[in-house]
Amino acid sequence: MRTVKQCLKQSLMLLFFITISLGYNLVVAETTEAPAAGEHEAHNKMDWPGIYQGFTPCADCMGVKTELALNTNSSYILITQFVGKSVREFVEKGKFTWDSKSKTVALTPRKSTTVHHYLVGQNTLTQLDDKGNPITGENAARYVLRRNDVTKAPEAHSGH
Round to whole Å and give the CA distance between 11 and 17.
Answer: 10
Give 18-86 as a 3 state SS string: HHHHCCCCCCCCCCCCCCCCCCCHHHHHCCCCEEEEEEECCCCCCEEEEEEEECCCCEEEEEEEEECCC
Round to whole Å and give the CA distance between 97 and 76.
Answer: 10
**Which range has the worst mean pLDDT, 24-38, 65-79, 125-139?**
24-38
Decide if pLDDT at 49 tops 90. no
Confidence of residue 48 (pLDDT cuts 50, 70, 90): confident
| Cα 57 → chain centroid | 16
Which pLDDT tens digit goes with each residue over 1-46?
A: 455 556 545 654 554 444 444 443 334 434 334 444 444 444 444 4
Please report, as a single letter, which amino acid is at residue 120: V
> Residues 121-128: what's their mean pLDDT?
93
